[in-house]
Amino acid sequence: MKIFGKELIGYQTPKFQVEVEKGKLKLFSKAIGEMAAVYVDEEAAKSLGYRSLPVPPTFLFCLEMERADPYDWMLELEIPLGNVLHAGQSFTYHETACAGDILQFSGEIIDVYSKKNNELQFIVHRNYVCFLEGAAVAEFDRTVVIQTRGKGN
């Protein structure tokens, strides 16, 4: 498969908007076994100063999955999904998003590097998340590692 270089930096993924739905937050809490009132009971969340149920720390990643095809850039770059692993993930938070918020996401590839003579290629995709009026909510970076000689080739 292809060996990627720094020319990939700046590659943009489609912008999109998504509403944070209360039901989805509750389902996510169920999936991770979270039962703390602040994440499942809107009144409890409000009494703690949140506008509604807060978006848990890693859920912004899941919201990006709601765009038409979150794996579109891997398809376009002809990266076989079976050779891809999630190598790292980071989030930087500015505001806590809550149920009912409409969030805008835009994404780009911010770094590309390789190890072991290109056997492992790393691509870092960053999402910028903001409220509709433009105030920043968070940035989060997904680092994927591609096994260049994986069986999926």
Partner 1 sequence: MNEEQYEEIQVGLHLPAFEAPPLSRQALAIYCGASGDHNPIHVDIDFAKSAGLEDVIAHGMLVMAYAGRMLTNWMPQSAIRNFDIRFLNMTEIGEAICSNGVVREKFIEANQKFLIVEVLAKGQDGLNKLSGSATLSFP
Q: Is 107 in the site for partner 1 (CB under 8 A)?
A: no
**Least distance to partner 1, CB of residue 98, Å:** 11
Q: How far apart are CA 14 and CA 136, in angstroms?
A: 18
In the complex with partner 1, the residue whose CB is nearer, 7 or 102, is 102
In the complex with partner 1, the residue whose CB is nearer, 8 or 83, is 83
**Least distance to partner 1, CB of residue 38, Å:** 8
Q: Is 113 in the site for partner 1 (CB under 8 A)?
A: no
Nearest to 1, CA basis, from 58, 106, 77, 73:
77
Question: Across the chain, which distance is largest between two alpha carbons, in Å?
Answer: 55
Q: What angle do CA 10, 56, 126 make, to 5 degrees?
A: 5
- Tell me which H or E stretch contains 102: strand 102-115
Which parts of this chain interact with partner 1 (CB under 8 A)?
A: 24, 27-28, 30-34, 36, 38, 48-49, 54, 56-58, 61-63, 65-66, 70-71, 81-83, 85-93, 96, 143, 150-152
